[in-house]
Structure 1
Amino acid sequence: MKLTDQDKKALELQGEDFFIEAECFFDRAFQRPEYLFNQRGKAAGTAHLQRNLIKINPVLFMSNKEEFFEQVIPHEVAHLITFQLYGKVRPHGKQWQYVMETVFKRPALTTHQLDTTDVAGKQFTYRCSCTVHQLTIRRHNKVLKGDRYLCKHCRSNLVFEGE
């Protein structure tokens, strides 16, 4: 799915507004990022710190425009601001939270709650001692090559249930 030039411009302008807010707050200039609109999978967006790049998921944007303007763009801009201010720190650590909550006046949510049905690929069923898990094809292929995944709750190995 391709975004219109108008959508791309609106997203970039929203990012610019947050950069201006950060510049006023910290009384310093920040380098502006490049924007790409080719993020895939379930991620709404990603910030590539060393490349000073923000990637946006066009499929999720089309059905969640308001959430992108209110939360996704400030979330990714906050990553770049945090990196430019503090260097390499925890991705959603106290510095990033400070930028989100104090500078941008947004909740410091680490994940989105968007409906990812339209972007979810084939899932593979795995079982642990306590429940059933759905793994992506990427993780399933890693298991086939010898990687192991543990349940976060019971800490037992995930075992493939079969097709």
Structure 2
Amino acid sequence: MISLQQRIITRVNDCMQLAAKELAREFSPPKVQFNQRGRIAGSAWLERWELRFNPILLADNEAEFLTEIVPHEVAHLIAFACYGKVKPHGREWQHIMQSVFGLTPRTRHRLNTNKVAPTFSYQCECRSHQLTLRRHNNMQRGKQRYLCLHCNSILQKQ
């Protein structure tokens, strides 16, 4: 049975070949790593010609990676190869997403990130707030206090 990571690498290569065919230009296969962390599903390192994917999000969202996330990241490399340094989700990238991959260009994924980026409940005088791990740790270490934007009271751990 083909491993999940191997299926992603195959999809990357298929996307690169499709781009080569559609744009009548050759592209070398990028280095593919599975070391992306946090809420980010994937990233393209342009100068290194490298793609990184989040293995935790991948394990729970294989279909989305194959259909949207892999082409999204490959489109960044193709845009860089064809146009040089451009806006990450600018018109060149959007053009590649639409004309080469036939996809709606979305700048953000819609995956559930609770597993990779837990939040912590805090309370003010008027409502509950969800803080990121970084803000939670800053509060616990006494480095930072956060105020509610509505009632201006200090947030307290629930």
TM-score by structure 2 length? 0.79
**Quick one: percent identity of the two aligned structures?**
39
What secondary structure sits across from 2:3 in the alignment? helix
Partner of residue 136, structure 1:
132
Equivalent residues in 2 for 1:45-64 (5 A)?
Answer: 45-64=42-61
Equivalent residues in 2 for 1:8-19 (5 A)?
Answer: 8-19=5-16
Aligned in 2, Cα 1:140/1:88: closer, same or farther, shift over 3 Å?
farther
Q: Letter of the 1:136 partner, please give it.
A: T
Partner of residue 83, structure 2:
86
Question: Which whole-Å CA distance do the structure 2 matches of 1:160 and 1:41 have between them?
Answer: 27
Kindly tell me the number of residue pairs found equivalent between the two proteins.
Answer: 149
Of the structure 1 ranges 29-38 and 94-103, higher mean CA displacement relative to structure 2 is found in 29-38
- Mapped pair 1:161 → 2:155: yes
Aligned in 2, Cα 1:5/1:86: closer, same or farther, shift over 3 Å?
same
What secondary structure sits across from 1:35 in the alignment? strand
Can you give the 5+ residue segments of structure 2 that lack an aligned partner in the other structure?
none
Q: What is the RMSD of the two structures over their aligned residues, measured on CA atoms?
A: 2.9
Q: Letter of the 1:70 partner, please give it.
A: T
Equivalent residues in 2 for 1:142-157 (5 A)?
Answer: none
TM-score by structure 1 length? 0.77
Work out whether residues 30 and 51 of structure 2, in 8 Å CA contact, stay in contact via their aligned partners in 1. Answer: yes
Work out whether residues 124 and 137 of structure 1, in 8 Å CA contact, stay in contact via their aligned partners in 2. Answer: no
Work out whether residues 46 and 54 of structure 1, in 8 Å CA contact, stay in contact via their aligned partners in 2. Answer: yes
Question: Which whole-Å CA distance do the structure 2 matches of 1:28 and 1:142 have between them?
Answer: 50
Question: Which whole-Å CA distance do the structure 1 matches of 2:111 and 2:94 have between them?
Answer: 21
Can you give the 5+ residue segments of structure 1 that lack an aligned partner in the other structure?
none
Work out whether residues 125 and 160 of structure 1, in 8 Å CA contact, stay in contact via their aligned partners in 2. Answer: no
